[in-house]
Structure 1
Amino acid sequence: MRTPRSRLLFAAGLATVLALSGCAAPSTSDNTGTNASVNVGLILEPTDLNIRKTSGVALDQVLLDNVYEGLVRREADGSVVDSLAKSHEISADGLTYTFTLNDGVKFHSGAELKASDVVWSLNQVVTDASIKDHATLAAIRSVSSPDPKTVVIELANPDSNLLWNLGGRAGQILEEKATNDLATSANGTGPFELKAGAWKQGDSLKLERNDNYYGTKAKVREVVFSYIPDPTAAINATLTGDLDVQTGVDASLSPQLERDKDVTLTKGRTTDKYTLVFNPKVPALADPKVREALRLGIDHKAIIDSIGGAGVPQGGPIPALDPGYQDLTGLVPFDPEKAKALLAEAGQSDLTLTLTVANHYPTVISNVLTSQFKNIGVTLKVNRVEFPTWLNDVYTNHDFDLSLVNHAESRDFANWTDPTYYFGYNNPHVQELYKESVAATDPKVADAKLAEAAKIVAQDNPADWLFTGTALTAIRKGVTGFPTDSTTSRLYLGNLAVSE
């Protein structure tokens, strides 16, 4: 979107930013209103487009709710609203969910959505353990369609998370008869389409308005996501007008944007859990004294300050936006002297550990951790890798000492109840409390069980939750409706607009 405006320009070869006054020449083409093309800067690019099999929130950001849809949709504030379903009912015993489908829904292929597509899509997830988030639908006993506009889900036992899970990967509805390659293309029902050739790997991905959408049509013609992992390059692209929206703004560089009158910098809430995981398969880290010592040696305020203050302390596995949150920041306070004593008790006088971290994360975090661990007598070596390498080595093969990653997904506490997950954490009491939370039909009971389980996890010290991230988003004047909360996990663009 190019509009007349005052702007900051970068002079070639100069390190300083020159503020120029006056207005740019008016655009010669109409790029506002429903004809607008909006350029959005993202950090992390998906490795492929297969929402059934490929992990990572980079896919969720661009495809969920925009290209693919579920019976329901997650909102940025954590609520769940109807999407492909125009309404739903839940039986008093919490075992039967009845969804009434919207009229006139078509896949991007042109085929009409049928209740049988919903039944097939959900049953595919339920029966195939290799599908992403398969376990989140484990309570489903059957999915049926008594008539062409109704879908009925029967549960074996109550699941307080069912609607939320249906709004995630597991609940996305695909066309049963489609033959497209999910790794390179997408055929959904959403307000935007991903057409052939729209993904230029290593560069950008373009979504175009679906003019046959059954609901309210998208307010812009297209959205182009540009993948810019370098924070300085992203700032430059925003200041020169190449980006209309920049997500994941580096807080240490944000003052440059604050000087541009045509850019608004927003601060949003997230469930971004910057998690430092201790691999229990490593002999030293199997010792609870060593794990506690490492946590005691971390000054969380210093880490948050190092990233420009774009975070808040977390203290445990559940962030403030999620059910079951409680303030656990006081459980393991910064105490380097106690950390040294515990390491001595554990017989670790010369401990060396390697931190594996994807190279799109700021180096300052690992630098601060290296310094803080050195203060308690631990040598930390940093192995910065490409994200696909992290997925292979850490996530898949569990080959690491320490790992740092942002777990941006909301309500993902279940990972701490799965011993096969790369965390490697196994506590039967936590697993039982989580089951009781899921089975509860009273939200207050569900929250209480979650909170109890989360405290146990925090006391076991299988990881350190460095901070919950704050989403900094730069938005150019004239752009409205872009989400500012939870931007690393979901970007619903149905409300995105450009003023005329």
Structure 2
Amino acid sequence: MKRWFGFGTTALGAAVLLTASGSVLAQTKGGDVVIAITQAPPSLDAQVTSAQAARNVTLQIYETLYARDENAKPVPELSEEAKISADGKTYVFPIRKGVKFHNGKELDAKDVVASLERYRKVGASASLLSAIDKVTETGPHEVTVTLKDVQSTFLDNLSSPRAPIAIYPAEEAAKPANQINYIGTGPFRFVEYKPDSHVKIARYDGYVPNPKATGRDGLAGKKEVFLDTVTFRFMPEAGARSAAFEAGEVQLLETVEGATAKRLESDKRYVVYKVLPFAFQVIKFNHAQPPTNDVNFRLAVQAALDMEEIMAISYPDINQIDGAWLYPGAPFYTKTGTEKYNQADLNAAKALLAKSGYKGEKLTFIVDNLRANTDTATVVQQRLKDIGVNVELSVADWPTVSKIGFTPNGWQFWAHGYGIEPYEGPASVMAPWVNGTSQLKKDDKIDSLSAALNSAMDEGKRKEIFVEFQKHMYDNAVAMKAGNYGLFQVGTAKLKNFKPYRIPRMWGVWLEP
């Protein structure tokens, strides 16, 4: 990775960066970039939507008290380092001074208090702040948060990008959901939103970067903007996106299929980027229905499946065979407890199946019509046929399948992606299984591990708890992880210093003439 040691701005609007090797890179300030994304954001009120399409845009406009670094660790953004009381229940946040909103107003404690209180009422992931007892302005640039109980994951929650806990001007935070003016403190300011066409943002010349940051770092770091504007065009059809890109109307494709990426990578006019891992593929069991309520049956399925085969067919061009329930590089990542991953042992599977109560009845595998998910279901269906399990696929659109998948009847298996949770960390990975939400039957072990994780302030202890959770998932085949998958992005070669991440970060990027 290149490290920037300093920069200067010439009279002609070009910036100069000195790399660790001593070479100089010149950047031109200016230029308009168009990014083709697959769908329109449902809202630009960052607090009220967890849609990926919204994050692509809103995390350029708004900022949070804490954000995630390159490895998803919580780090200060609009706050200085938080001061945490000895009992773990009080967090004092010194708010950075001199930060300006896009309307010119200086950020202060009132804005932070109002924004946090609004999120507790209307936030799409309001449960992130459910441990809060009260939020108090304890100085012009200081906010104190008192928790009802110890929550070791509070900074993780505060920095979650899922539905960002964006800081708005107090007068905007007083407004209901989806009725705000789009004013933040981020490196880009809002220009226009046409729901059937595009969102346009522009460089905010009054932006005040974090003085302690030394370079681009995840969703935090030093956010220098060289581009004049960025336009996100909504283009759901893959062929139309590629055609617009090759015609020069678009400078970056949010995602392309593997075949298109392979075709374009041989052309020097383009650069293909791999975003891996972006998510992983999960195969769920319904614990409320036989025979998937039988641990021996679930263990038989787990032993039978060849995860390399599943991933090679479902995501043939961009996958990782990895059984850990977090992404490589994450602070709590470990393979300990994953020894039963990817066994591909039909004999062991048949022996376990014989111990179960399965009598050859037809079982239902629900799946949406995304090709990778139907491919996963088909491979599982064929593999289980080899051990005598009769599986029927039930394919429908995502809204239909997801509704059925959270009811106890009508299915035994369900496959889909699991993306933001592993990025956010152990608590988010565990949360969907707490109170039996995803498996539809309470698992006292998972519930107790989740409670222990949330109350343990010692990081080493939390790591031990997560290892125990991971081992429990495999020892009881609560659900199965098939592997990690990614996506391809393609940019024009004129787009310099772009580095893919969970959103297309457009700070630190410039466009050559």
| Whole-angstrom distance in 1 between the partners of 2:84 and 2:408 | 40
Map of 1:354 onto structure 2: 365
CA distance in 2, matches of 1:398, 1:166: 36
Equivalent residue letter for 2:201: L
Task: Label 1:290 to 1:222 Cα distance change in 2 as closer, same or farther (>3 A).
Answer: farther
Question: 1:445–1:283: structure 2 CA closer, same or farther, 3 Å change rule?
Answer: same
1:191 aligned residue (178, 182, 187): 187
Q: Of 472, 475, 484, which residue of structure 2 is paired with 1:468?
A: 484
Give yes or no for contact 1:267–1:472 (8 Å, CA) kept in 2: yes
Q: Paired residues, what number?
A: 460
Deviation track 1:180-233 (CA, whole Å, cap 9, x = no partner) reads: 75279744332223344x1434x5433333344333653212222234455555
Residue of 325, 328, 331 corresponding to 2:333:
325
Shift of the 337–275 alpha-carbon distance from structure 1 to 2, 3 Å rule, reads: same
Structure-2 change in CA distance of 1:391 and 1:47 (3 Å): farther
Relative distance call for 1:313 and 1:101 in structure 2 (3 A) is: same
Correspondence for 2:289 among 277, 282, 288: 282
In the other structure, the counterpart of 1:296 is 303
1:59 matched to 2:54: yes
- Alpha-carbon distance, 1:93 to partner: 4.8
How far apart are the structure 2 equivalents of 1:100 and 1:498? 36
Residues 425 and 309 of structure 1: is their aligned pair in 2 closer, same or farther, counting only changes over 3 Å? farther
Cα distance between partner residues in 2 of 1:145 and 1:280: 47
Contact 1:416 1:426 in 2 (8 A): no
Q: 1:465 to 1:483 in 2, by over 3 A?
A: same
CA distance in 1, matches of 2:147, 2:36: 41
Distance 1:35 1:81, change over 3 A: same
The question of whether the paired residues in 1 share the 8 Å contact of 2:338 and 2:471 is answered with no
Output the CA distance in 1 between the equivalents of 2:452 and 2:45.
Answer: 33
Letter in 1 for 2:280: K
CA distance in 2, matches of 1:423, 1:57: 25
Aligned AA for 1:188? Answer: G
Unaligned ranges ≥5, structure 2: 1-26, 210-222
Superposed CA RMSD in Å reads: 3.3
Q: Do structure 1's residue 84 and structure 2's residue 78 form an aligned pair?
A: yes
The one-letter code sitting in structure 2 at the alignment partner of 1:434 is S
| CA distance in structure 1 between the partners assigned to 2:407 and 2:166 by the alignment | 24
CA contact (8 A) 2:364 2:410 kept: no
Cα pair distance change 1:183/1:177, threshold 3 Å: closer
Is residue 2:390 matched to residue 1:381? no
Q: Distance in 1 between matches of 2:476 and 2:82?
A: 40
Give the structure 1 partner of residue 461 of structure 2.
445
Question: Structure 1: any 5+ residue segments left out of the alignment?
Answer: 1-31
CA distance in 1 between partners of 2:109 and 2:359 (Å)? 61
Query: Which position in structure 2 is the counterpart of 1:305?
Result: 312
Alignment of 1:196-275 (within 5 A): 196=192, 198-201=193-196, 203-215=197-209, 218-231=225-238, 233-270=240-277, 272-275=279-282
Q: TM-score, normalised by structure 2?
A: 0.78
Equivalent residues of 1:136, 1:170 under 8 A apart: no
Q: CA deviation at 1:71?
A: 0.7
**What is the rounded CA distance, in whole Å, between the counterparts of 1:49 and 1:281 in structure 2?**
38
Q: Is the 8 A contact 1:115 1:151 kept in 2?
A: yes
Deviates further, 272-281 or 232-241: 232-241
Structure 1: how far apart are the matches of 2:169 and 2:437? Answer: 30
The partner residue of 2:166 within 162, 166, 172 is 172
2:346 aligned residue: 336
Residue 11 of structure 1 aligns with which residue?
Answer: none
**How far does the alpha carbon of each residue in 1:305-329 deviate from its partner, in whole angstroms, 9 at most, with x for none?**
2222411123253333434433255
Q: What is the identity percentage for the equivalent residue pairs of Structure 1 and Structure 2?
A: 22
In structure 2, the partner of 1:10 is none
Q: Match of 1:499?
A: 512
Inter-CA distance 237–77: structure 2 relative to 1 (3 Å threshold): farther
Aligned with 2:255: secondary structure? coil
Change (3 A) 1:156 1:447: same
